[in-house]
Chain A
Amino acid sequence: MAERMAFSPVPYTRRRRAVKFMLPLLGLVVIWQLVVVIFDVNPRIFPDVPTVLRAGWGTIADGSLLGHVTASLWRVTVGTVLAILLAVPLGILMGVSRGVSSFLSPLFRFFAVLAGIAWIPIATLWFGYGFGAITFVIFNAVFFVVAYNTLLGVSTIPMPIRHAAASLGTSRWQLLKEVLVPGALPNIVTGIRTGMGFAWRGLIAAEMIATNTGLGYMLFLARDFYRTEVIVFAMIIIGIIWLVLDRLLLAPLERATVERWGMVQRS
């Protein structure tokens, strides 16, 4: 342990990491304000920082922002949880049976590419406008990516590890529980992280088309009223929510399990 410490660079504290992360973003805000003031940009094309903050405060004060954020997060949660619950068992099943996996693998690759906003038109035909269609789009975005990554995770567990388990007397069920699921976990977590990234993008697009609440709708509505400052504010909120989700939920999930086992490098 002492040896490892001596060779690693000075460990960053949490706060230093956060500052390092925030600094470029703050720099961007400063440049934004300078450009708008120096070139006297038309506020309808791009408003300055105080205008956006005021508009943002307005949406917070009248409760509309909270309504949109809640609607968006609820859809993402429902779609993602459903997708994970179905995709992980299916991915493992595919990984266990070579026949099933070679048959389904091309389909999954195809739909993993297609997943996302390409499904919006047909989703609205099937589910109508609103919660059903949007959750379906989210589900699709997460499901195929997680299923494919789970399959990948199971099928890339090193042969000696499977052999070790077999020669220590595992039954089929024990192999699944003790080896295949934990062995595939790094890929499953990666799949969830990637899938949720797609889902969040798909969600915003879907909400512009297929609903009357949510952050995407907030963007779209503001455009109709030429409220550029609300558009910019909503875009910032969309980015911030994703960063918070990823860094406070998904990254710690990865750290708590997978990095501890040394199966992926800390990113």
Chain B
Amino acid sequence: MKNLSLENLSKTYFDPYAGTTVNAVQDVSLNVAAGEFVAVVGPSGCGKTTILNMIAGFVPISGGRVLVGGKEVKGPGPDRGVVFQSFALFPWKTVAENVTFGPKMRGVGKAERAKIAEEYLALAGLSHAADRYPNELSGGMQQRVGVVRALANNPDVLLMDEPFASVDAQTRMTLQEELTRIWEERRPTVIFITHDVAEAVFLANRVVVLSKGNVLEEVDIDLPRPRSWDRLVEDGDFKGLSNKVLQLVRSA
């Protein structure tokens, strides 16, 4: 795992309907240490998904740089694993084939891939579903596959774009707890985009609040780990931090 830094990252695009240029992201600088979990929150239209898409290399950068482990990146690459809101699993591949897709692209052999599948499916509690197709799974199970598919490729940083926004509330809490457990076990460098303040505070070491394409404030989350909803839901510190972040988002 490596550190990630954004240096004066900007995105401007031309809005053909309004006939004007829009500054979606302006001069955002951010450092994420190796093994740190940073959540980025903000109201819709604040540029959080655009930032993630620039880091992932899915959209061109208008200004500034993205560095992974000190090296500037251009375009998508396996050093940055991505977990998508829409899961984006390959429907024509089984769960195990989805999880080992990255290793297969790198030329990892069949026997080794079987081991990788076994390890990561166990990590996600999906060993029983290895030979199923994604459409046979619930949304929550599909996103577990999405998370370990990204992890199984050993990325330097993990980019998560509102990954739990399209599952039901109960499943979402379970997935959040599983993600903290996996993070505590493996310590990947994570940028997690969300509009859910409680989710951000629950998961992250640090929450970055965005407003109109700028960093409004950064809040350190020093809650003890391991974290679970049973404990945190009535926790005074958790409530205090959540309220603080919520006020910032509402003022954004």
CB of B45 within 8 A of chain A? no
Supposing A164-B82, A183-B92, A185-B92 touch, asked if A169 and B102 sit within 8 A by C-beta, the answer is: yes
Q: Which size class do A's interface residues fall under?
A: 20 to 34
Chain A residues whose CB sits within 8 angstroms of the CB of B80 once the complex forms: 167
Q: How far is the CB of A166 from chain B (nearest CB, A)?
A: 4
Cα A178 to Cα B103 in complex, Å, equals: 13
Q: How far is the CB of A157 from chain B (nearest CB, A)?
A: 10
Contact pick for B105, options A169, A185, A260, A263, CB 8 Å: A169
Q: How far is the CB of A211 from chain B (nearest CB, A)?
A: 41
Question: Are the CB atoms of B92 and A163 closer together than 8 Å?
Answer: no
CB of A262 within 8 A of chain B? yes
Supposing A158-B86, A167-B82 touch, asked if A261 and B92 sit within 8 A by C-beta, the answer is: yes
Chain B residues whose CB sits within 8 angstroms of the CB of A190 once the complex forms: none
Question: Are the CB atoms of A167 and B91 closer together than 8 Å?
Answer: no
Q: How far is the CB of A178 from chain B (nearest CB, A)?
A: 7
Question: Are the CB atoms of B102 and A168 closer together than 8 Å?
Answer: yes
Residue pairs across A and B with Cβ atoms less than 8 A apart, 15 shown, are: A158-B88, A160-B84, A160-B86, A164-B149, A165-B90, A165-B101, A167-B82, A168-B101, A168-B105, A168-B149, A168-B153, A169-B102, A182-B90, A261-B92, A262-B133
Chain A residues whose CB sits within 8 angstroms of the CB of B57 once the complex forms: 166-167
Question: Are the CB atoms of A171 and B56 closer together than 8 Å?
Answer: no
Chain B residues whose CB sits within 8 angstroms of the CB of A179 once the complex forms: 90
Chain B residues whose CB sits within 8 angstroms of the CB of A158 once the complex forms: 86, 88
Chain B residues whose CB sits within 8 angstroms of the CB of A263 once the complex forms: 91-92, 135
CB of A70 within 8 A of chain B? no
Question: Are the CB atoms of B91 and A169 closer together than 8 Å?
Answer: no
Chain A residues whose CB sits within 8 angstroms of the CB of B58 once the complex forms: 163, 166
Chain A residues whose CB sits within 8 angstroms of the CB of B81 once the complex forms: 167-168
Residues of B within 8 A of A (CB): 56-58, 75-78, 80-82, 84-86, 88-92, 101-102, 105-106, 133-136, 149-150, 153
Chain B residues whose CB sits within 8 angstroms of the CB of A168 once the complex forms: 78, 81, 101-102, 105, 149-150, 153
Chain A residues whose CB sits within 8 angstroms of the CB of B78 once the complex forms: 167-169
Contact pick for B77, options A167, A174, A178, A182, CB 8 Å: A167
Q: How far is the CB of B238 from chain A (nearest CB, A)?
A: 32
CB of A161 within 8 A of chain B? yes
Q: How far is the CB of B95 from chain A (nearest CB, A)?
A: 12
Question: Are the CB atoms of B84 and A262 closer together than 8 Å?
Answer: no
CB of A170 within 8 A of chain B? yes
Chain A residues whose CB sits within 8 angstroms of the CB of B56 once the complex forms: 163, 167
Cα A261 to Cα B133 in complex, Å, equals: 6
Chain A residues whose CB sits within 8 angstroms of the CB of B150 once the complex forms: 167-168
Question: Are the CB atoms of A169 and B153 closer together than 8 Å?
Answer: yes
Taking A167-B80, A169-B106 as known contacts, 4 extra A-B pairs with beta carbons closer than 8 A to each other, sorted by chain A number, are A161-B88, A168-B150, A170-B105, A174-B105
Q: How far is the CB of A223 from chain B (nearest CB, A)?
A: 49
Q: How far is the CB of A217 from chain B (nearest CB, A)?
A: 43
Cα A97 to Cα B238 in complex, Å, equals: 51
Contact pick for B135, options A160, A163, A171, A261, CB 8 Å: A261
Question: Are the CB atoms of A163 and B153 closer together than 8 Å?
Answer: no
Cα A170 to Cα B136 in complex, Å, equals: 25
Contact pick for B133, options A169, A171, A260, CB 8 Å: A260
- 8 nearest CB pairs, A to B: A262-B135, A169-B78, A160-B88, A166-B76, A168-B102, A182-B92, A164-B88, A261-B91
Cα A98 to Cα B149 in complex, Å, equals: 29
Question: Are the CB atoms of B101 and A262 closer together than 8 Å?
Answer: no
Cα A171 to Cα B101 in complex, Å, equals: 12
Chain B residues whose CB sits within 8 angstroms of the CB of A167 once the complex forms: 56-57, 76-78, 80-82, 150
